[in-house]
Amino acid sequence: MTLGQAVQLLAMLNSTACFRLSAYVVLPLLTGVRTEEARALVWSEVDLDAGTVAVYRSVRTKGDTKTRRSRRVLKLPRKVVAALRAHRRRQTTERLRAGDAWRDHGLVFCREDGTALGRWQVRRELGQITNAAGLGEQWTPRELRHSFVSILSASGVPLEDISQLVGHVSTNVTERVYRHEIRPALTKGAVAMDKIFGREPGSA
């Protein structure tokens, strides 16, 4: 996803509240978390006041992250914090509506009854979201993470910083996996994304 496409997608999400998984799309696009990390994320690992998220688990076997280096605490861009706040309000409403049917696993992203999301459900809604933004339905969740890398690289962020942000064991891994997106490159994750995409409307 190019910067222009990402801007188009975020503008659409900012203008409508009809998608349950809007925040799920914004999180990896602006922080680079893996889709399996987002699906396993729990609210106890999110601090919206501090604007941080602790990536300690995934939906992989035994709940481990892909590597030890993948366990990381990330500063969240303002757009992600705003999206997660709106998502939490929506989830509170769904929890009240579900009543006794709600199964509380503490998940940030879940079904309407609190149970875990399936990967095909995520992919289906992502297609609906990108299609509504005029980008087509062909996108996969993992491409949001790839887009994070390409946008930061194109904006001058050093490979070493990108590698650390996405939780790779070395820059060699980042370069090998994202070779077609890496460009030689001054700022880091949240600061860079805030600079690229600008402040939230009405923020100081």
Task: List, by residue number, the catalytic residues.
Answer: 34, 66, 145, 168, 178
CA–CA separation, 95 vs 101, rounded Å? 9
> Under a CB-based contact definition with an 8 Å cutoff, are residues 145 and 34 in contact?
yes
CA-wise closest residue to 8 among 115, 119, 116, 134: 134
Query: What angle do helix axes 78-98 and 22-31 make, rounded to 10 degrees?
Result: 150
> Under a CB-based contact definition with an 8 Å cutoff, are residues 87 and 26 in contact?
no
Which residue's entry shows tokens 């001058």?
Answer: 156
Measured between alpha carbons, how far is residue 139 from residues 72, 129, 135, 153 in Å? 26, 10, 8, 20
CA–CA separation, 106 vs 13, rounded Å? 24
